[in-house]
Amino acid sequence: MTRFALTLEFDGTPFFGLQRQSHGPSVQQAIEEAVEQITGERVVMHAAGRTDAGVHALAMRSHVDIERPFDPFRLMAALNARLRPAPIAVTHCQVVPDAWHARFSCTGRRYLYRIVNRRAPLTLLRDKAWHVPQPLDAEAMHRAAQALVGRHDFTTFRSVHCQAADPVKSLDLLDVERVGEEIHIHAAARSFLHHQVRSMVGCLKLVGAGTWPESRIAEALAARDRQALGLNAPPHGLYFVAATYPELQEEQA
């Protein structure tokens, strides 16, 4: 049995999320079915994180265990051939130790949220970013965001369906920057609560639009109450950017 680490890039638009669902297509289902077509083996894919319907990934780490011997490059090529035309690509594939786990060995996760801040509607970036036509103050959003950095009870910013046992998380970074007509929100932590990034972005948008004062972010955090949440940003602007693992370098296959 060999454990293969896969790095996945995908457009989440047609999927009901990364994790296998009973009511619609998922990224996990697509990968598992592709592996079975190639090897005849039924496998379970494990990933560094879970994504909601419509959320995208630039480099989602995952792994599968396969009994049949395979060269990593040939496995990657075979998977990409079977995955077409689904918007999923295996960009890297490597053999890893049996003890390595895509989820439990991960020590850090990074997300990017993209807002297109212009009056004109989206064409090329439709379903790839949140369109906000009213002007946003990115600097005010960044200042307000710093109240969320550190170790806090993020109850206000978690989904009511979140299954995490503890709402306390350590947020390592939450930066907001303007890049032309886009506003990018960068978030990094060891792990996140369900909807945490989208909930933080939604409230920061209210600050940028002048609907909330900057101080309201800290007040919402201190409330530890979902009722204090101002807005949950839509999923299609969110990207899983990277997962971090100690002493494991990604080797291009």
- Residue 16 and residue 23 in contact, taking contact as beta carbons nearer than 8 Å: yes
- Residue 52 and residue 235 in contact, taking contact as beta carbons nearer than 8 Å: yes
H/E element, 153: strand 150-153
CA dist., res. 239 & res. 110, Å (int) = 9
Residue in 52, 153, 166, 172 annotated catalytic: 52
CA dist., res. 246 & res. 11, Å (int) = 27
- Residue 188 and residue 120 in contact, taking contact as beta carbons nearer than 8 Å: no
Burial class (CB in 10 A: 0-12, 13-18, 19+), 238: buried
Query: Closest Cα to residue 51, out of 244, 239, 199, 242?
Result: 239
Q: Who's near 45: CB < 8 A, 6+ residues apart?
A: 6, 28, 31, 32, 35, 62, 63, 64
Whether the bond between 85 and the residue before it is cis, its omega within 30 degrees of 0, is: yes
Q: Does 65 participate in catalysis according to the annotation?
A: no
Residue positions annotated with a catalytic role: 52
